[in-house]
Amino acid sequence: MAVARMACFAASPNNIMALFLSGSGETVLFQLFVIFAAAKIAAEVCERLKQPAVVGEILAGIIIGPSLLNWVHTSEVLQTLSEIGVILLLFTVGLEVNPTALFKVGKLALGVAVSGVLVPFLAGWLLMRVIGAPFTESMFLGAALVATSVGITARVLGGMGVLAAQSSQIILGAAVIDDILGLMVLSVVSSLAKGSVNLAELALTGGLSVGFTLFVVLVGSKIAKKARPRIEKLRVNEAFFVVGMVLCLGLSWLSTVVGVAAIIGAFLAGMALSEVSEDTALHQQAGSVMEFSVPFFLVGIGMQLDLSVFRSPQVIGLAVGTTILAVITKLLACGAAALPLGKRAALQVGMGMVPRGEVGIIVAQIGLGLGVLPKELYAVVVFMAVATTLVAPPFLRRLYQPGKEKQSSDAEEVIESDQSFTDIG
């Protein structure tokens, strides 16, 4: 009987998986096992093919998710792990960013961020208006094109060991500003979809977001330096790691309270501790935790791509066109703003701002929840978010590898002569 049962399941991977899930194996732990193992296997394959691991981990999500093998599905537990993963990712990135270096690129980062918001938004809105889409749908597509996934770019740059490069510092600084501006744009678009815009509330949220970011950037590292002697006297095991995690989670929560994404707070927490943690084990400890949690974030992005809606040639055409527009607008707008660094660095910055990742998907989910985006347009935005996330890493690797040790001397002169973040405005 058991042999017959196995034989009937032998026809397809889906049936084999159904057999495993038919008993007590249908647990959260089993799904975590499948996701983590698939992500790391795919990452290893991509590394051997000289491609970024992040590409493999996202592709793993597409393969094992509902679109193909249908082995795992999005759940509340997986979404929570995904959010924790990207928070820890941005915390470890922040640990590699020196606040002084970030101050020096403040003016250029602001220019890159503003250009990377205005141009893609207008281009997306115009595209939808030209094909006859309603006004609100057009606004939501524009808002989706504004997004930048700093988590994806940071993962790639960190993997290549170029987070300290000047162009990388500009990408990270611009991504923080871009997130604040992008969320403000999304607030306006969501309010329009509901029928009204509360300008006072929008101004308050914007002011709190900017004030919170500047306070942590300007004061956070100074507080951390003064607190270091007390941290060293703590009797708990791995005191720096414990304090780092408390600060990471606390600032992530405060970020959501003031109206910006949790990942910004995590990034700022890491940056505040970057100078005082250089001779501690915090970098390695946080990196180890991140390596476990980040695959759930990346696989989750791939799992959300529903391939079944692309049976229509019109949807395929719009998805491809939107993706091309998403790449070109960020590349040209952000790259043009970074031209004072030189052509190669400008291309690095432009391509680093291309991935939309989870941020673009969130915009699509909000539009779908408000009843503004039809299922087809939602799929188009998700396709664009995943495609731009897959396209950027290989190009970033090529742009950084040749001569990455020596950045242009012109770029160094521009950075040294640039005003600090505190001088903006």
For 8-46, write each residue's pLDDT tens digit.
434 444 554 454 444 444 578 888 999 999 999 999 998
Are 390 and 58 in contact by the 8 Å Cβ rule? The answer is: yes
Residue 17 corresponds to which tokens in the numbers above? Answer: 């998986």
Q: Would you give the end-to-end CA distance of the chain in angstroms?
A: 77
Amino acid sitting at position 76: E
Phi-psi region of 355 (alpha: psi -120 to 50; beta: other; left: phi over 0): beta
Which pLDDT value is given to residue 401?
Answer: 76
Q: What angle do CA 5, 10, 11 make, to 5 degrees?
A: 120
Which pLDDT value is given to residue 253?
Answer: 93
Residue 23 corresponds to which tokens in the numbers above? Answer: 């008993």
Helices (H), 49-134: 53-64, 76-95, 99-104, 106-130
Which pLDDT value is given to residue 175?
Answer: 81
Taking the C-alpha atoms of residue 417 and residue 401, their distance in angstroms, rounded to an integer, is 26
Which pLDDT value is given to residue 24?
Answer: 42
Q: How many CB atoms lie within 10 A of CB 31?
A: 20
- The H or E element containing residue 332 is helix 313-337
Which pLDDT value is given to residue 196?
Answer: 66
Are 353 and 171 in contact by the 8 Å Cβ rule? The answer is: yes
Which pLDDT value is given to residue 4?
Answer: 41
Which pLDDT value is given to residue 406?
Answer: 44
Residues 403-414, buried b or exposed e (16+ Cβ, 10 A)?
A: ebeebbeebeeb
Look at the alpha carbons of 38, 364, 362, 176 in this order and tell me if their dihedral is positive or negative.
Answer: positive
Phi-psi region of 147 (alpha: psi -120 to 50; beta: other; left: phi over 0): beta
Which pLDDT value is given to residue 402?
Answer: 54
Taking the C-alpha atoms of residue 163 and residue 154, their distance in angstroms, rounded to an integer, is 8
Are 100 and 410 in contact by the 8 Å Cβ rule? The answer is: no
Are 173 and 217 in contact by the 8 Å Cβ rule? The answer is: no
Taking the C-alpha atoms of residue 186 and residue 373, their distance in angstroms, rounded to an integer, is 14
Residues present in the chain in total: 425
Looking at residue 242, the DSSP 8-state letter turns out to be H
Which pLDDT value is given to residue 16?
Answer: 44
Which pLDDT value is given to residue 418?
Answer: 46
For 210-262, write each residue's pLDDT tens digit.
787 778 877 888 888 888 888 888 888 888 899 999 999 999 999 888 777 78
Q: What angle do CA 220, 223, 227 make, to 5 degrees?
A: 135
> Which residues of the chain, if any, have pLDDT below 50?
1-13, 16-17, 19-25, 404-425
Helices (H), 147-238: 150-160, 166-194, 199-232
Residue 407 corresponds to which tokens in the numbers above? Answer: 């950045």
- List strand residue ranges (DSSP E) for 227-272, in order: none
Domain 32-70+87-419 fold = Na+/H+ antiporter like fold (1.20.1530)
